[in-house]
Amino acid sequence: MLNLKEKEAEKRNELPSIAQTENNKNFTQIQDASIKAQLESKNINDEKIVANKSKITASQNQIEDKSAENTQATDNATLISNSIKELGTTAKIQSEKEEERTVSTKKSIDEIESKQPVKVSIGAYEVDLSKYPEGVNQEQFDQLGPDGLVSAIVTRRVVVKDGRANVYIRTQTMDMVTYQKNGQPCTELVWQRETQDAKLKRNY
């Protein structure tokens, strides 16, 4: 009977120890579950961080690409602007050249007109003998076509002999050479014989 009571007393004494062990086991399980949950949460956060970093990198790349496109667009705009300016400069230069050519043509025409003989009743052909001394006097000028380019070279010789003048004109084009004496057609032989006489003084 005593032994039975002792055994029951021992069992009662063991109860706190058993409860403590059970509590420790439960605590360990709870702690493990908490650690596991923390690890899972950390992994999820790490994945989110990686995903966010990937998004940020993609956004930065997109911004850089757009920046490059904008830079290219700016370069293209600058190139177009420079090309327009260059075309404008070229057009201006061509316009100035056309204007210079027009002025030059007008000047040549004025010179030709100024060199036309002044008709006076002196000599065999009506010229102002005060402008031409005795001998052969030569003038040469370019004849311009409608396009403003040289179409012929005109050589004009005024031959004054014994106070009388004769005017000879030699016109050379790309196709032919013609001769005139006092406004009438003549031959090359007449031109040579009457304007290249060794006895005549050359005033040119």
Tens-digit pLDDT profile for residues 32-64: 666 777 777 777 777 777 777 777 777 677 777
Q: If you average pLDDT over residues 180-192, what whole number do you get?
A: 94
pTM here is 0.40
Residues 60-95: pLDDT tens digits? 777 777 666 666 767 777 777 776 777 677 767 777
Cα angle value 174/175/177 (rounded, 5°):
95
d(CA 51, CA 136): 104
Q: Which region holds residue 50: left if phi is over 0, alpha if psi is between -120 and 50, else beta?
A: alpha
